[in-house]
Amino acid sequence: MRRGVRLGVDVGSVRVGLSLSDADGLLATPLETVAVTEGNESHYGRIADLVTELAVCEVIVGLPRSLSGAEGAAAGLARAYAVEVARRVAPVPVRLVDERLSTVTAHQRLREAGVKGRKRRPVVDQAAAVVILQSALDGERASGRPPGSLVLEAGPDGPGSGHGEALT
């Protein structure tokens, strides 16, 4: 298992949930929820600031897929988001990982913890980011390989130029 703090990201159209791992990559914990406002890109800046402040070695972005593995509009949003994050945090790597059912799992865990419906809304995105990051950490520990696929930074001409391509 590689050492270093990782930042988990659950991308949504209204909110982005963030989680953080310990330096040993054992445990993911909730960090914060950042509002996404149309025309305001401060949420990207907040992620870039956290990467610097917390000495993050890698950013893990959830890629929502259907149960069949197909990608829809939400996956396209997550891919585009990951490319922009990669551009802003370079040279820190950004990886996309499968996040099927992360929000469902987050709601279930919060419900089991006794968090009522309305009180869940502000923290469910953080909880989903924890599920995404913990899954990536566990997968790396089990396989010995970095999780998911590497996002290529958006560039005007080269590979990954704005299309969110991923290396596998």
Q: What is the pLDDT of residue 158?
A: 41
Domain count along the chain: 1
Q: What is the pLDDT of residue 60?
A: 98
14 contacts: CB under 8 Å, gap ≥ 6 = 35, 36
Which one has a higher pLDDT value, 151 or 107?
151
Q: Output the CA–CA distances (angstroms, integers) from residue 24 to 9, 21, 138, in the order listed.
A: 19, 8, 12
Helices (H), 25-116: 42-53, 73-89, 102-112
Phi-psi bin for 9: left (phi > 0), alpha (psi -120 to 50), beta? beta
**Which CATH number characterizes residue 111's domain?**
3.30.420.140
Domain span at residue 73 reads 5-167
Tens of pLDDT, residue by residue over 38-53, are: 888 999 999 999 999 9
Tens of pLDDT, residue by residue over 134-152, are: 999 999 999 999 999 999 8
* Residue 7 φ/ψ, nearest 5 degrees: -110, 125
Contact at 8 Å (CB) between 31 and 50?
Answer: yes
* Residue 161 φ/ψ, nearest 5 degrees: -70, 85
Contact at 8 Å (CB) between 48 and 89?
Answer: yes
